[in-house]
């Protein structure tokens, strides 16, 4: 069946109009405030359309299900998110969440090792999985009429994994080699690992997702099965299905597969170790002869998006865009173009997180500019930003760009499923996800400066210098 074209044309028209108007504003050097008001009615309607296409319900065993309809192509993204990541690991078992992710591609009661992925490929689809601090997720992207098959296989490995000692030995070597390639052989990854460990004094976010090598080497069958038995249960999982699907059909299939699995009555409350008050700025210096380009990075402990209270996070999100979001940002103009002390500047805020997250600055100094000089220029420029306040025209332009990006994002079935899955696994709700674009648009310049002064304080910061080992390089 060919999906109706009118909604598609309407979506494209909105997105194209906003982007074209934005380009016209940039070329003319005009403010965006008038256009923002003019586009608001269209954007509100677009947000309403998106909200109407999301259905959420809970199975009797406690499994949450989110269905996001998009009937423009006969494909579906099927994802299962577990509310268990590296920050939920027992002390001394860092890396076990990621280790278990690998092991779930082994045999089950019904499938041989590797058969799930082979079946997905034979049906013209693709599959994979990933682990983060707050969640582990498994997904398949296939033709819409293969959804039931995906649910059968995924629900099977939720409870029926069958491991051998050979599986444990093989996959332990695989994850150790993954650490070799992605972390130990990459100075920037080692630097970030040390910076992160210094940022979190007590919280498990201070350990690497892949794990510390000495603990990874000790992971065994009991560790993997204990984590599996504790957290892999329907009442600790979120099913997200996006694409050419009918919510009632998804409900029927989910009840036939996942709905037959009993809830885990012993699922522990999700309680993490808390950060104590951070009262002293910290510094690290990381030296490595393999460093190609030294840089300065500063990390601040910062609040995340919270259920029903996303305003502070929205202000930090916009602050990051204003300071480091592209070639017209404040730091780029000041440090790269005006002062010419940097060849790159970046500002990053990780808004989706179960617990306190980070707000980061990065400055790569230019030739003959020391790290000390680059850091001093960063401090002076940020102080001046707080004194000058937010450029209202720039803020409105960023908000306009965000609205255009939000509309284009609806064309990405994978991206939408990821957005809802990450948020729900991190303590947010469907309503929070849908409210986020509106909250971003509501934040004022004064609120941004107030949050910057409140959050970005020296005592909650870690400043790192990534540099060459002079003794080796001479």
Q: What angle do CA 383, 386, 391 make, to 5 degrees?
A: 130
The answer to whether position 458 is within a domain reads yes
DSSP state, residue 366 = -
The answer as to whether 210 is a domain residue is yes
- Catalytic positions: 101
Please tell me whether residues 253 and 384 are part of one structural domain. Answer: no
Start-end of H helices in 366-429: 371-388, 392-409, 413-425
Question: 98 and 139 share a domain?
Answer: yes
Do strands 282-287 and 461-467 pair parallel, antiparallel, or not at all (unpaired)? parallel
Residue-wise pLDDT tens for the chain (474 aa)?
323 322 222 222 233 332 333 333 333 332 232 323 333 333 333 444 445 589 999 999 999 999 999 999 999 999 999 999 999 999 999 999 999 999 999 999 999 999 999 999 999 999 999 999 999 999 999 999 999 999 999 999 999 999 999 999 999 999 999 999 999 999 999 999 999 999 999 999 999 999 999 999 999 999 999 999 999 999 999 999 999 999 999 999 999 999 999 999 999 999 889 999 999 999 999 999 999 999 999 999 999 999 999 999 999 999 999 999 988 899 999 999 999 999 999 999 999 999 999 999 999 999 999 999 999 999 999 999 999 999 999 999 999 999 999 888 888 888 999 999 999 999 999 999 999 999 999 999 999 999 999 999 999 999 999 999 864 433
275 falls within a domain: no
Q: Which of 229, 260, 291 is the last residue of a domain?
A: 260
Q: Is residue 96 part of a domain?
A: yes
Asked if residue 334 and residue 456 are part of one domain, the reply reads yes
Please say which residue of 260, 291, 326 terminates a domain: 260
- Separation of alpha carbons 226 and 228, rounded Å: 5
C-alpha distance from residue 202 to each of 170, 207, 386 (Å): 32, 10, 31
Question: Do 232 and 305 reside in the same domain of the chain?
Answer: no
User: How many Å separate Cα 422 from the centre of its chain?
Assistant: 7
Six token digits for residue 140: 């398949």
In a domain, 327, yes or no: yes
Structural domain including 441 reads: 282-473
Place of tokens 């039931």: 148
Check whether residue 321 and residue 455 sit in a common domain. yes
- Please check whether residue 286 is in contact with residue 191, taking contact to mean a CB–CB distance below 8 angstroms: yes
Judge if 287 and 248 occupy the same domain: no
Q: Is residue 460 located within the same domain as residue 380? A: yes
Mark whether 128 and 70 lie in a shared domain: yes
Element holding 77 (H helix, E strand): strand 75-82
Residues 294 and 186 in one domain: no
In CATH, what number is assigned to the domain containing residue 323? Answer: 3.30.830.10
Q: Are residues 71 and 22 in the same domain?
A: no
For residue 270, being part of any structural domain is answered with no
Residues 294 and 376 in one domain: yes
Contact 137, 129 (CB under 8 A): yes
Considering its fold, how many domains does the chain have in total? 3
Place of tokens 């999985």: 129
């Amino acid at each position: 069946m060919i999906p109706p074209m009118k909604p598609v044309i309407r979506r494209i028209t909105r997105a194209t109009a906003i982007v074209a108007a934005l380009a016209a504003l940039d070329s003319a050097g005009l403010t965006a405030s008038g256009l923002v008001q003019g586009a608001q009615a269209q954007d509100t309607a677009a947000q309403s359309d998106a909200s109407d296409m999301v259905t959420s319900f809970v199975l009797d065993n406690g499994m949450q299900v989110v269905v996001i309809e998009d009937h423009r192509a006969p494909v579906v993204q099927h994802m299962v998110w577990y509310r268990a990541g590296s920050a939920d690991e027992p002390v001394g078992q860092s890396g076990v969440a990621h280790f278990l992710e690998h092991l779930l591609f082994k045999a089950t009661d019904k499938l041989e090792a590797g058969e799930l992925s082979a079946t997905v490929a034979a049906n013209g689809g693709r599959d994979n999985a990933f682990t983060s601090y707050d969640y582990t997720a498994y997904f398949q992207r296939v033709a819409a009429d293969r959804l039931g098959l995906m649910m059968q296989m995924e629900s099977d490995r939720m409870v029926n994994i069958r491991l051998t000692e050979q599986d444990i030995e093989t996959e332990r070597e695989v994850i150790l080699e993954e650490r070799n390639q992605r972390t130990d052989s990459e100075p920037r990854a080692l630097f970030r690992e040390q910076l992160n460990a210094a940022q979190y004094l007590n919280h498990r976010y201070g350990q690497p997702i892949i794990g510390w090598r000495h603990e990874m080497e000790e992971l065994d069958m009991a560790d993997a099965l204990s984590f599996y038995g504790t957290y892999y249960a329907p009442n600790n999982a979120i099913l997200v299905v996006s694409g050419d699907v009918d919510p009632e059909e998804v409900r029927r299939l989910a009840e036939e597969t996942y709905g037959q699995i009993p809830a885990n009555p012993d699922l522990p409350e999700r309680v993490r170790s808390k950060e104590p008050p951070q009262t002293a700025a910290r510094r690290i210096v990381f030296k490595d002869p393999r460093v190609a380009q030294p840089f300065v990075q500063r990390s601040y402990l910062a609040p995340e998006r919270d259920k029903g209270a996303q305003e502070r996070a929205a202000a930090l999100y916009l602050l990051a865009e204003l300071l480091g979001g592209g070639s017209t940002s404040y730091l780029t103009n000041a440090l790269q173009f005006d002062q010419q002390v940097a060849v790159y500047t970046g500002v990053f805020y990780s808004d989706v997180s179960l617990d306190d997250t980070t707000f980061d600055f990065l400055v790569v100094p230019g030739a003959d500019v020391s790290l000390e000089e680059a850091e001093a220029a960063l401090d002076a420029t940020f102080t001046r930003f707080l004194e000058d306040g937010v450029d209202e025209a720039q803020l409105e332009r960023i908000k306009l760009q965000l609205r255009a990006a939000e509309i284009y994002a609806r064309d990405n079935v994978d991206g939408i499923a990821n957005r809802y899955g990450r948020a729900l696994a991190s303590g947010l709700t469907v309503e929070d996800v849908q409210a986020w674009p509106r909250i971003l648009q509501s934040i004022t310049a004064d609120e941004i400066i107030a949050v910057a002064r409140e959050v970005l304080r020296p005592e909650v910061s870690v400043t790192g210098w990534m540099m060459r080992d002079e003794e080796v390089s001479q």
